[in-house]
Structure 1
Amino acid sequence: MSDHSKDAGGTGPAVRPGVNRVLLAGIFLALSLSIVDGMVVSIAAPTMAADLGLSSAGIRWIVNSYTLARAATFALGGRLADVYGPRRVLLVGLTIFVAASVLCGFAPQGPAATPWLVACRIAQGAGGGVMYPAAMSLVVGEFPVHQRGRALATLFGFSQLLSALGLPLGGWLTSLTWRWVFWINLPIGVAAIALIAMTRSRNDTRMRVSQDLKGAVLLAAGMTTSVLALEQAALLGWSDPITLALVVTGPAALALFVFWEARTPSPLIDIRLFRDRAFALDMSILFFSTIAYMPMLFFASFYAQLALRDTAVQAGVYLLFFQVAYSVGAQFGGQVQDRVGVKPALLIGAGLGAAGFALWAVELSDLSVGAQWPFIALAGAGVGLVVPPAATDAYGRAGPEASGMVGGVVQTTRIFSGALGLAVLGSAFTDVAQARVTSTLVGLGVAPGAAENAAWQFVNYVDDDEGDRLPDDVGGIHLTSGIQEILRADITTAHQWVFMCMALATALAFCCALLHPGSRPTKTHPNSAGDAPT
Structure 2
Amino acid sequence: MPQPGSAVRMGTAAGRGTLTAAVLASGMVFLDSTVVNVALPRLGADLGASVAGLQWTVNGYLLTLAAFVLLGGALGDRFGRRRVFLIGVVWFTVASVLCGLALRTDWLVAARFLQGVGGALLTPGSLSLLQSSFAPDERGKAIGAWSGLSGVSTALGPFVGGWLIDALSWRWIFFLNVPLAVLVLLATVRWVPESRDESATRTRGAGRRFDVAGALLGALTLAGVTYALVEAPGRGLRSPTVAVAAVVAVLAAVVFMVVERRRGETAMLPTGLFGSHLFSMLNLFTVLVYAALGGFTFFFAVYLQNVVGWSALSTGLALLPMTVLLLVGSPGAGALSAKIGPRLLLSVGPVLAAAGLLLLRELGPGASYWTHVLPGVVLFGAGLTMVVAPLTASVLAAVADRFAGVASGFNNAASRVGSLLAVAALPLLVGLSGTGYEQRAELTGAYRGALLWCAGLLLAGAAIAALLVHRPVARRGPLLTVDC
Distance 1:63 1:191 in 2: 26
Is 2:463 the partner of 1:511?
yes
Residue 264 of structure 1 aligns with which residue? 263
Distance 1:69 1:219 in 2: 10
Q: CA deviation at 1:363?
A: 4.8
Residue 408 of structure 1 aligns with which residue? 409
Is 2:459 the partner of 1:459?
no
Q: CA deviation at 1:376?
A: 0.9
Distance 1:86 1:347 in 2: 38
Distance 1:82 1:174 in 2: 38
Specify the code of the residue in structure 2 equivalent to 1:81. Answer: G
Q: CA deviation at 1:519?
A: 3.0
Comparing 183-192 with 386-395, greater Cα deviation is found at: 386-395
Is 2:173 the partner of 1:174?
no
Q: What 5-or-longer segments of structure 2 have no aligned partner? A: 1-8, 202-206, 477-484
Contact 1:74/1:132 (8 A) holds in 2: yes
Q: What is the aligned-residue RMSD (CA, Å)?
A: 3.2
Specify the code of the residue in structure 1 equivalent to 2:211. Answer: D
Distance change >3 Å, CA 511–CA 179, structure 1 → 2: same
Distance change >3 Å, CA 324–CA 151, structure 1 → 2: farther
Q: CA deviation at 1:160?
A: 5.0
SS at match of 1:207: helix
Distance change >3 Å, CA 408–CA 300, structure 1 → 2: same
Is 2:179 the partner of 1:187?
yes
SS at match of 2:453: helix
Residue 382 of structure 1 aligns with which residue? 383
Residue 119 of structure 1 aligns with which residue? 110
Distance change >3 Å, CA 490–CA 104, structure 1 → 2: closer
Distance 2:131 2:390 in 1: 14
Specify the code of the residue in structure 2 equivalent to 1:384. Answer: T
Distance change >3 Å, CA 319–CA 386, structure 1 → 2: same
Comparing 197-206 with 232-241, greater Cα deviation is found at: 197-206
Distance 1:223 1:143 in 2: 39
Q: CA deviation at 1:333?
A: 2.2
Q: CA deviation at 1:226?
A: 0.8
Distance 1:306 1:286 in 2: 30
Q: CA deviation at 1:61?
A: 1.2
SS at match of 2:170: coil
Larger helix proportion, structure 1 or 2? 2
Residue 443 of structure 1 aligns with which residue? none
SS at match of 1:517: coil
Distance 2:22 2:349 in 1: 26
Q: CA deviation at 1:277?
A: 2.2
Contact 1:66/1:121 (8 A) holds in 2: yes
Residue 235 of structure 1 aligns with which residue? 234
Contact 2:304/2:310 (8 A) holds in 1: yes
Is 2:312 the partner of 1:324?
no
Percent identity at matched positions?
30
| Match for residue 498 of structure 1 among 417, 434, 450 | 450
Specify the code of the residue in structure 2 equivalent to 1:517. Answer: H
Distance change >3 Å, CA 256–CA 139, structure 1 → 2: farther
Aligned residues: 453
Specify the code of the residue in structure 2 equivalent to 1:408. Answer: G
Deviation string, structure 1 residues 259-282 (Cα, Å, up to 9, x no partner): 100102521111111212222222
Contact 1:291/1:417 (8 A) holds in 2: yes
Distance 1:389 1:520 in 2: 16
Q: CA deviation at 1:287?
A: 0.8
Distance 1:249 1:422 in 2: 20
Distance change >3 Å, CA 390–CA 17, structure 1 → 2: farther
Distance change >3 Å, CA 460–CA 308, structure 1 → 2: closer
Contact 1:153/1:330 (8 A) holds in 2: no
Q: CA deviation at 1:355?
A: 2.2
Residue 224 of structure 1 aligns with which residue? 223
Distance 1:152 1:345 in 2: 25
Q: CA deviation at 1:43?
A: 1.4
Distance 2:149 2:184 in 1: 16
Residue 247 of structure 2 aligns with which residue? 248
SS at match of 1:387: helix
Deviation string, structure 1 residues 142-165 (Cα, Å, up to 9, x no partner): 799xx98x9989866753552332
Residue 27 of structure 1 aligns with which residue? 22
Comparing 260-269 with 331-340, greater Cα deviation is found at: 331-340
Q: CA deviation at 1:407?
A: 3.8
Distance 1:182 1:359 in 2: 33
Residue 373 of structure 2 aligns with which residue? 372
Q: CA deviation at 1:318?
A: 1.8
Distance change >3 Å, CA 500–CA 216, structure 1 → 2: same
SS at match of 2:308: coil
Q: Radius of gyration: which is bigger?
A: 1
Q: CA deviation at 1:307?
A: 1.4
SS at match of 2:263: coil
Distance 1:398 1:140 in 2: 21
Contact 1:168/1:317 (8 A) holds in 2: yes
Residue 480 of structure 2 aligns with which residue? none
Distance change >3 Å, CA 119–CA 420, structure 1 → 2: same
SS at match of 2:379: helix
SS at match of 1:71: helix
Q: CA deviation at 1:205?
A: 5.3
Distance 2:450 2:152 in 1: 25
Distance change >3 Å, CA 384–CA 133, structure 1 → 2: farther
SS at match of 2:324: helix
Contact 2:69/2:413 (8 A) holds in 1: yes
Q: CA deviation at 1:217?
A: 1.3
Q: CA deviation at 1:204?
A: 5.9
Distance change >3 Å, CA 288–CA 21, structure 1 → 2: farther
Q: CA deviation at 1:35?
A: 1.8
Is 2:91 the partner of 1:91?
no
Distance 1:345 1:156 in 2: 22
Q: Under a length normalisation based on structure 2, what TM-score does the superposition of the two structures give?
A: 0.83
Specify the code of the residue in structure 2 equivalent to 1:93. Answer: G
Contact 2:400/2:475 (8 A) holds in 1: no
Q: CA deviation at 1:379?
A: 0.6
Once the two structures are superposed, the pairs formed by residues 104-143 of structure 1 within 5 Å of their partners are 104-108=99-103, 113-138=104-129
Q: CA deviation at 1:330?
A: 2.5
Distance change >3 Å, CA 359–CA 390, structure 1 → 2: same
Residue 464 of structure 1 aligns with which residue? none
Distance change >3 Å, CA 87–CA 509, structure 1 → 2: farther
Residue 98 of structure 2 aligns with which residue? 103
Specify the code of the residue in structure 1 equivalent to 2:172. Answer: W
Distance 1:407 1:125 in 2: 19
Comparing 262-271 with 204-213, greater Cα deviation is found at: 204-213
Specify the code of the residue in structure 1 equivalent to 2:169. Answer: T
Residue 479 of structure 2 aligns with which residue? none
Distance 1:62 1:104 in 2: 10
Contact 1:79/1:408 (8 A) holds in 2: no
Q: CA deviation at 1:251?
A: 2.1
Contact 2:306/2:437 (8 A) holds in 1: no
Distance 1:133 1:521 in 2: 30
| Match for residue 39 of structure 1 among 19, 34, 40 | 34
